[in-house]
Chains A and B, each alone.
Chain A
Amino acid sequence: MCEKCVNAKYVSQKISKTRWRPVSHSSLQQPDIFATGSWDNEDNKISFWSIGNHGSSGMDEGFEGDPQLLCEHKHDGDVLDLQFLDQDRIVTTSSTGAVTIFRHHQNSQTISVSQRWPRVHRYPCDNAPCTGVVCSSPEIVTVGEDGKIIVFRADQEGVIRVIENADSSTIHAVTYLRTTEILTVNSIGQLKLWDLRQQSNSPSQILSLSGDRLPLHCVDRHPNQQHIVATGGQDGMLCVWDVRQGSTPFSLMEAHSAEMWEVHFHPTNPDHLFTCSEDGSLLHWETSTHSDMPSFLQGGRNNSMISRSAMAPAGGNQSLISTWLSGDSSKGRLETTHMLPSQTLSVNSLDVLGQCLVCGTDGEAIFVNRQVPV
């Protein structure tokens, strides 16, 4: 995929988060609407955009048609995280410590505030930015700089549960491990597992890197194999962990030269992983697929990426061992591709669904790629 097939759309706001609206699993449609949140503006906004992909199969080019703005709404404070709750509603977290649910009215293309929890994350005398949110409708879990984990239910006033002092440092991101377990990452390089069924205020497991305790900024779970988790942190290293085994990561890969802001497994093709970073690059990681032939004998591969790890057994147990856990700290059987033209400012956020990828940068640009090779 050539870098030049991605066009920038300049939108006059620095994009902090961007997410595709989920498409129903039954249809084979490509996603057509995404939401963005801005930051560092005097008046921040959330906006909905369309790329007009309504089942049109006649598109040859990957970039025809800029994203069109559908509607936007004022947002109080920086949008620090954004998730779709369902087809019409998004949850956002703010630098003022508030959590808000917005509803997108598709018929009139307007946005209204559906529910709001102001100042849920706070210090005794000040607001604390709420840094991450994850939701599984109707449950919403947020984390913040105040080290709290808060559980809400959409359509219910007040909070369901607060885990005070869950962490003595800032919690940067949260994700679901199982329906009742969540995983958080903090600024002293620890992953913590929390079992929400239990009433205790301490994590059920703590994992961390050996060596320097650098902050971790993002975490994502493998869509099919729930014990595999990828994280990225301040030094731009991509770590893949197996939460069942041991307390240190399974493999470490040098990815970026600055903070990694987001990491995403592709939801339907988890052999593909995407990361974006402060250094302005967006990488597409692809593990080689299960095959009988060792990868260095297959044609067309970039030889410099070939690892020195052991050959996989022909056929056999490979389907049970994820290729992400190759256990080798070199690039493994991985191919990495840059997806953006060079010299962009920090890429703050990305999302990938089907064959479409969207990302937003500090250069106030949105990039959409409709033909991601997955």
Chain B
Amino acid sequence: MDQNNSIPAFQGLASPQGAMTPGVPIFSPMMPYGSGLTPQPVQNTNSLSILEEQQRQQQQQQAQQANAGLPGTSGQTPQLYHSQTVAGSTTTALPGNTPLYNTPLTPMTPITPATPASESSGIVPQLQNIVSTVNLGCKLDLKTIALRARNAEYNPKRFAAVIMRIREPRTTALIFSSGKMVCTGAKSEEQSRLAARKYARVVQKLGFPAKFLDFKIQNMVGSCDVKFPIRLEGLVLTHQQFSSYEPELFPGLIYRMIKPRIVLLIFVSGKVVLTGAKVRAEIYEAFENIYPILKGFRKTT
């Protein structure tokens, strides 16, 4: 838990869903400027408002601690994901500001949407797909697997792997003769792991000495809706080095965020698809980074 001002990156939050620690949030007075790699919204850089924000966040965070526990459900997300400081830490980097700004101006209520400075969106991206790989640790005979297993298809002329599906969790696996397996379609990390184990058990029951080595999540896809239409032309003008918007090729804007390294597909309707993450936190962080920018390009009509 660093209060390290040399890394002024704007990190929204770590992993709210069933995570133990709040991660490494870095809270810096330089937050609105950020590093060049993290997209920054055009904000008013009045330091007074920033300090006020910090103050309010601290108070909410203390109020939150009084509630105790990480709910982990989307119902309470507006408070949870707003916290910028680590639980228990109340130091900000600015010296001597506490007595000045602890005024009745900052109520101990959840965030009001009126402030222009950074605040949480209150929207949590939902995970739609998780791709993971695992090594079963032994060579497999795909023909016997295809013949004896249920819900397996194998067409060596088309693709050199057995495609197996299970109903619960609804996933698809590609099983290769080297013993490596790719599992796709799960909606959460635990489900992906569980599904991979089920496939490994199926292979084991067919007589192969299957193990469960090196399970790794390779890609996570999430999607969410910001609930307002977006001016993609404006976004591509200002964030030219990250965005690619070619209506002839694809109706959405492809935003390649550098930190974290996530690709976002942003559509006119306000729907956003985030992909390329290895951990859930990256998806949340990316969305928290992009949300203020999208708000700046909201269609006004």
Q: Do A and B bind?
A: no
Which A residues are within 8 Å of any B CB, using their own CB?
none
